[in-house]
């Protein structure tokens, strides 16, 4: 459906702006009026990573007058495969600062506002209220639900995107005119069911495909042209090179934007709502957790342990803890791998950060392996505390 422009036009375009945006100005649907609206717009990008990189670059090139960036992370070498707004010289630098510098190179006419902080319940309302439109480039469910809830409560539209391996999705959520994220996903998936990009990987160029769709939708909303993806979900399969548009209806029973909402304020704890680990895993790790330092001590002392890496084969190929045997978490939870586990040795599980190993530990405890333990912090803790020379990923 067509929607009215989100922002009023600026008073005028300068000579420099007319030259710079000439290819926009000659498009009848955009023209001078549309470009003035872009100039007058304030857009916040949540995250300067995989999706935030192309989104920020093209929003800047398009002439969005004010761009906000919120990101508390620093640039890591593993980011450079897909986060193209950063370069080698930016490794170790604040992502928000690095992205801002790249934007100034692309378009010095754009004003950049940096929020070098983590988005949380205490600051999300204040930050979002400064902008006309939110572009969501987050990669975890807790932040996605918080972004959605804050946008709905403030009456803000936002453009959402999601990427994983070769698949991507994008939509526009605006409760005033259509569904919100909770209408599409009322509940987060069970912990560990949907791996993050850090766990499952992502094709670098997929970020550009979905990020550019997000910018396209942002421009349409700001200028009031075309038919935005309100009420539509675009699904992209890079391997098959296929796009599917799925209709998404507003849920009258939505707890946030439905006819009788029960969620009328931000949740106290979005991490708890999304569940870092299941209740079973939380119970399983009690008195069954060791540190990376303890694991190293056990190995050096010659303790008879069976060390199990529950990550995926591709992760195991990148970096591994010496002596570990690869048995992916799915094979443990399904019971397929139980016969391969020794009954007479201490089983020690680990993953990348400790979440998947906790879930696998719960499955082992339920299967009778009462003495099994897992390594808190997983490979990341091993690298930090034991062997910093190993490659991070």
Residues belonging to the active site: 197, 351
- Give pairs for 329-334: CB < 8 Å, separation 24+: 329/192, 329/356, 329/357, 329/359, 329/360, 332/308, 332/360, 332/363, 332/364, 333/359, 333/360, 333/363
Cβ partners under 8 Å of residue 26, min gap 6: none
- Residue holding tokens 């089983």? 347
Cβ partners under 8 Å of residue 163, min gap 6: 50, 51, 169, 197, 202, 206, 207, 210
For 133, phi then psi, to 5°, come to -145, 145
Query: Strand pairing of 133-136 and 42-46?
Result: parallel
Q: Which two tokens stand for residue 56?
A: 């920020």
- CA 128 – CA 284 distance, rounded (Å): 39
- CA 203 – CA 180 distance, rounded (Å): 27
- The three-class DSSP label of residue 338 is helix
């Amino acid at each position: 459906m067509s929607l009215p422009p989100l922002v009023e036009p600026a008073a005028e375009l300068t000579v420099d702006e007319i030259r710079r945006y000439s290819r926009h100005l000659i498009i009848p649907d955009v023209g001078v009026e549309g470009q003035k609206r872009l100039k007058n717009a304030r857009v916040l990008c949540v995250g300067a990573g995989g999706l935030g990189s192309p989104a920020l670059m093209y929003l800047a090139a398009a002439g969005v007058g004010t761009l906000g960036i919120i990101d508390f992370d620093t640039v890591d070498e593993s980011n450079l495969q897909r986060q193209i707004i950063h370069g080698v010289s930016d490794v170790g630098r604040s992502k928000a600062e690095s992205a801002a510098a790249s934007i100034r190179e692309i378009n010095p006419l754009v004003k950049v506002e940096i929020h070098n902080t983590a988005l949380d319940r205490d600051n999300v309302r204040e930050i979002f209220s400064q902008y006309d439109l939110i572009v969501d480039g987050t990669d975890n469910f807790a932040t996605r639900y918080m972004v959605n809830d804050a946008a709905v409560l403030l009456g803000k539209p936002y453009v959402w995107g999601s990427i994983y391996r070769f698949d991507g999705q994008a939509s526009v959520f605006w409760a005033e005119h259509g569904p919100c994220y909770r209408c599409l996903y009322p509940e987060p998936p069970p912990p560990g069911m949907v791996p993050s990009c850090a766990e499952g990987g992502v094709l670098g160029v997929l970020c550009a495909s979905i990020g550019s769709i997000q910018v396209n939708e942002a421009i349409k909303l700001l200028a009031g042209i075309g038919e935005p993806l309100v009420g539509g979900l675009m699904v992209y399969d890079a391997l098959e090179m296929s796009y599917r548009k799925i209709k998404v209806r507003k849920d009258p029973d939505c707890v946030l934007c439905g006819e009788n909402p029960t969620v009328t304020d931000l949740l106290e704890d979005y991490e708890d709502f999304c569940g870092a680990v299941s209740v079973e895993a939380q119970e399983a790790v009690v008195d069954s957790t060791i540190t990376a330092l303890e694991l190293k001590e056990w190995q050096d002392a010659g303790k008879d342990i069976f060390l199990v890496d529950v990550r995926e084969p591709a992760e195991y190929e990148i970096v591994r803890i010496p002596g570990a045997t690869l048995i992916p978490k799915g094979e443990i939870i399904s019971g397929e791998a139980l016969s391969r586990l020794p009954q007479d040795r201490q089983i020690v599980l680990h993953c990348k950060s400790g979440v998947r190993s906790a879930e696998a530990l719960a499955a082992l405890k339920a299967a009778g392996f009462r003495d099994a333990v897992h390594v808190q912090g997983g490979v990341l803790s091993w690298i930090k505390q034991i062997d910093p020379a190993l490659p991070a990923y």
